[in-house]
Structure 1
Amino acid sequence: MLHGIPKIISPDLLKILMEMGHGDELVLADANFPAASHARRLVRCDGHPIPELLDAILQLFPLDPYVDKPASLMQVVPGDPVETPIWSVYGGIIDARAGLSSPFEQVERFAFYERARQAYAIVATGESALYANLILKKGVIA
Structure 2
Amino acid sequence: MLKGIPSILSPELLKVLMEMGHGDEIILADGNFPAASHANRLLRCDGHGVPELLKAVLSLYPLDTYGNEPVALMAVVPGDQVDTPIWGEYEGIIREHTTPAIEYVERFAFYERAKKAYAIVATSEKALYANIILRKGVISD
TM tier, shorter chain? over 0.9
Report the counterpart of residue 94 of structure 1 in structure 2: 94
- 1: distance between equivalents of 2:43 and 2:50? 13
Report the counterpart of residue 25 of structure 1 in structure 2: 25
- 1: distance between equivalents of 2:116 and 2:26? 10
In structure 2, which of residues 133, 136, 139 is the aligned counterpart of residue 138 of structure 1?
Answer: 136
Give how far 1:51 is off: 0.3
- Structure 1 runs of 4+ with >3 Å offset: none
Report the counterpart of residue 54 of structure 1 in structure 2: 54
2:39 aligned with 1:69, yes or no? no
- 1: distance between equivalents of 2:114 and 2:68? 19
- 1: distance between equivalents of 2:24 and 2:7? 24
Which residues of structure 1 form unaligned runs of 5+? none
Give how far 1:5 is off: 0.7
- 2: distance between equivalents of 1:131 and 1:99? 22
User: What is the TM-score when the length of structure 2 is the normalising length?
Assistant: 0.98
Q: Which amino acid aligns with 2:118?
A: Y
| CA RMSD in angstroms, aligned pairs only | 0.6
User: What is the TM-score when the length of structure 1 is the normalising length?
Assistant: 0.97
In structure 1, which of residues 105, 120, 124 is the aligned counterpart of residue 122 of structure 2?
Answer: 124
Which residues of structure 2 form unaligned runs of 5+? none
Over the matched positions of the two proteins, sequence identity in percent amounts to 69
- 1: distance between equivalents of 2:56 and 2:115? 24
